[in-house]
Amino acid sequence: MVPNPARELLQQVRVLDPVTQRDRVGDVLIVEGMIQAVEDAITENLDQVQVRDCRGLVLGPGLVDLYSHSGEPGFEARETVSSLTKAAAAGGFTRLAVLPNTTPPLDHPGAVELLRSRFEQQAQPLQLHFWGAITLGIQAQQMVELQDMAAAGVVGFSDGYPLQNLALLRRLLEYLQPFGKPVALWPCNLELAAQGVVREGAASIRFGLPGSPAIAETAALVALLEVVAAVGTPVHIMRVSSARSVELIRAAKLRGVPITASTSWMHLLFHDEAVGNYDPNLRLEPPLGNAKDQEALVEGVRTGIIDAIAVEHTPHTYEEKTVAFAETPPGTIGLELALPILWQRFVTTNQWTALDLRGL
């Protein structure tokens, strides 16, 4: 009898369920795309069932990336919507949120609709969401029409760049409060950061690279936390990269400041000593911290002080990345790589359980 492709049995697959905190090996029966049963072994009613031996494979909910970059529109040589969504699907992601720094930027409903229409032309098993810019042209000078952007269906608001004007930041958080949408902010004092491409310290001196001090992040973070505490609008803190920031976030959460936080997968894997080979893929923003920063971030993720790991997939052309380290644009790809590398680094070494990683 010919198996029915609408009925599939995954035999002895490792099933991860972060909701019930279950990590088990068993058989999974799928009928017309819906899970019908999960048992230690399923041996009955297997007529017309397509059987797959899944020993060594893992089944879990689709991954979600909080923020990544799309080359399209404006920089299709870097990435198209088609290649972006294919990379996400190949890496196990079923939901992806795109930052607004496209060309044109996603600072008005028309730009959001343009990118949405291009995505809808792709037959991909992926939900693509869009962060709406907070300021016009993502220039941190003037607010966008927040009501119009909310009505356009943006998932939340973020420039993806630091806001230096605290008066503007306070006003934005006050205006954004009624919309009930996520607000993601990157704490960074650009004057202190200057042109740094690695954390200021012994490694930056040894490698002859301009350093960015940790206080470029922490000084801005302290100010941001004070504004959030005063206004009360929940904020997600992007791109946490220092041990001191983890301490500040922990203390703010303990006193009830409405924040969540994320770090990038690359900051969990590397610290500034790795920059010694001048690999352009390690030119990141914020720059890689030192070993203590990396250790604090890993522990912050494990304990829940850091709520999520962001991939921040950032495509560039070959020509853009094959220049001197300090000249290369920041960021690297990662949607296809993040899960297997993080799994190898933290789960197989027993630093985290599979559910610790999958539950983020």
Distance CA 238, CA 97 (A): 13
Beta-strand relationship, 127-132 and 49-53: unpaired
Distance CA 244, CA 286 (A): 14
Beta-strand relationship, 22-31 and 34-39: antiparallel
Q: Which fold has domain 4-59?
A: Urease, subunit C; domain 1 (2.30.40)
Q: Is the dihedral of CA 277, 78, 63, 246 positive or negative?
A: positive
Show the tokens assigned to 145.
């029409």
Is the CB of residue 273 less than 8 Å from the CB of residue 303? no
Angle between helix axes 81-90 and 109-120 (nearest 10 degrees) is: 60
Tokens 């503007």 found at? 168
Homologous superfamily in CATH for domain 63-358: Metal-dependent hydrolases (3.20.20.140)
Predicted pLDDT of residue 2? 45
Q: Which stretches of the chain drop beneath a pLDDT of 70?
A: 1-5, 123-124, 358-360
- Domains of the chain, by residue range, sit at 4-59, 63-358
The structure's pTM equals 0.93
